[in-house]
Amino acid sequence: MSSGMQDRLPPVDYIPRITAQYAGLGYGEYRWLASETQPAWTPLTKPLSECRLGFIATGGIYASGQTAFHFKDDTSYRAIPNSIATEELRATHFAYDLTDARKDINVVFPIEALKSMVEEKKIAELGPNSYTLMGGIYSTRRVIEDLIPSLVQRVLDDELDVVLLVPV
């Protein structure tokens, strides 16, 4: 019959697929974060168009001149000035296909689209920096003890009104 858009397949369920793959390869089970309590909720206190937005991305993004991430539970992060030229941005990671991210970093680090949102007055402005990290960290304890307090303090110091998170 006619071509064109076919019915959609449902979203991929990653947890059972990755669990099966790890079992097939003989790896230990990865413990997915399963939050049992409803998340805290902070309402916006002004229209989005008046908000200063910060963003945090996993995906192992760094700027040329910075130290790259390593692949063994790296809980460090990088502050990337939002004034940086896009060509200076790099991606390094063990867990996803980097092909498209290295063609155009915007697929995992939407800096250009966010700058357009300022021009469109969808948001008021961007914070001074974006923050980047690895994700895929096995030790929840290290994320809670080493990474989160420092990163939350940065976000508070930047006086952001809203934060966008872009995982991979």
Partner 1 sequence: MSLIARAIEEAGIPTLSMSSARDITRSAWPARSTYLDFPLGHTAGRPHMPELNRAIIRDTLSAFETLSVPGSMSHLSYRWDENDQWKDKVFAPAEKSVDSDHQKNKNNGYEDDRVARHDTPQYQTEADELAAFKSHGDEECEICIGIDF
- 1-9 contacts: CB < 8 A, separation 24 or more? none
Q: What is the token pair recorded at 35?
A: 């939050």
Close Cβ partners of 51 (under 8 Å, ≥ 6 residues apart): 44, 123, 124, 161, 162
140 binds partner 1 (CB under 8 A): yes
1 near partner 1 (CB under 8 A): no
Q: Does 12 bind partner 1 (CB under 8 A)?
A: yes
What's the min distance (Å) between Cβ of 47 and partner 1? 8
Span 97-126, contacts to partner 1 by CB under 8 A:
97-104, 106-110, 112-114, 116-117, 120, 122-123
Q: Does 128 bind partner 1 (CB under 8 A)?
A: no
CA dist 125 and 114 (Å) reads 9
Candidates 1, 2, 29, 65; binder of partner 1 (CB under 8 A) is 65
CA distance 22 to 20: 6
Window 41 to 60, contacts with partner 1 (CB under 8 A) = 41-44, 47-48, 51, 53, 56, 58-59
Contact 136, 30 (CB under 8 A): no
The least CB distance from residue 141 to partner 1, in Å, is: 11
- Report the residue number, 1 or 5, with the smaller CB distance to partner 1: 5
